[in-house]
A = this chain, B = another copy of it.
């Protein structure tokens, strides 16, 4: 029998077992409810696209992370590695049959051939939500509210959305004649959370000298209150600075809606390597500071310039579902996912099969989740199955019960039997026991 194939998955790919899958689907349902409350609509795009679409015309120097190959028709194709690029292509293709502003969410798998040494997966689920077709404080705030509502709905304690504006630091450097060092400096500042202020200072000194480094570090540091930090940053920039005006407008909304505790103005958030042009944000969990941001995003000037001349400004965020699920599990918030039905009808006599299934139908119609054990195996075997699955109730209808025409309902949690029940009493007793 050496021709058995080892049933293994590819490295970085995983099966999702029922308990995990139910938990994941519950999270997605909760997020769906939030998105729909804000008028966001779902879309989907193909997993496989032309490589040129996903990588741009210069797709020759492919990122090694992209799964790219030739299909049967020798087309150069690739699996999507995020949901932003397909969304850009989607908007360019459909903007005229849709409407603007367009607000969509998208929950789907993406694939990246990442180094799995660091616990990364090569197949994972992203959850993106974007508002396209408006450049305004209202649009920015809507995305921030959805982020806040999402974590509230999931019951995540002590989360905080760190917020800044990509232009702030840029303008600060320009006002000091330091624009040239913009990107390298941004990259260093972006590492503040990871490598700490001392190391950042050392690297900034090397890039821009002692004095400038000190000014930069002061610029990106937070004061006691967000308002104070906003004032300090504003005072270091030219008057009537639009990024400051945008942040002021956002803070008025945040305060007026009583959401101050969930937000933090943090000028060190730059998302240095991304394509953002306005507000930028990351979300940290107070109880798990080390896992990094569980929801990040920002504003971009032009989503789809690769595929259309139509200008499509937008703002959006992305949740890495796998990181979020790991966080929920670590916080003990992922445990509740129940996979068991309410009732198991024991199969004690094959001759009664139609009756078992008729009863199952009646109980399902009464709102219960019900299984019939599929074979007339020993009672111990059937009860062991119920225990393994943590099914709370079992219906016993053997020859004795059949003689009386009445069922016995057994509560497998306290092992108590409730005897002499007709159809109606059975459904009612089951519902009552499940509520208890």
- Report which A residues bind B (CB closer than 8 A): 1, 3-10, 13-18, 21-22, 25, 36-39, 41-50, 52-53, 56-57, 64, 67, 69-72, 75, 77, 79, 89-90, 92-94, 97-101, 103-104, 109, 111, 113, 123, 131, 133-134, 136-139, 141-142, 145, 149, 249, 252-253, 255-257, 304, 306-309, 339-341, 344, 347, 350, 353-358, 361, 364, 368-375, 385, 388-389
Contact = CB atoms under 8 A, between A and B. Distances in A.
Contacts of A53: 5, 7-8
Contact of A1 (B52, B77, B145, B309): B309
27 contacts: A5-B56, A9-B93, A10-B49, A10-B75, A15-B94, A16-B44, A16-B45, A17-B97, A18-B42, A21-B41, A21-B42, A38-B370, A39-B340, A39-B341, A39-B370, A47-B47, A71-B113, A99-B389, A103-B371, A134-B374, A134-B375, A136-B375, A138-B373, A145-B357, A149-B364, A252-B354, A257-B357
Given A37-B370, A257-B358, A99 B388 contact: yes
A41 B22 contact: yes
A369 B5 contact: no
Given A42-B18, A43-B18, A46-B14, A7 B37 contact: no
Contacts of A98: 17-18
A102 to B, nearest CB: 9
B10 A77 contact: yes
B353 A4 contact: no
A356 B93 contact: no
A145 B15 CA distance: 28
Given A69-B69, A99-B389, A141-B357, A42 B25 contact: yes
Contacts of A339: 41
A241 to B, nearest CB: 18
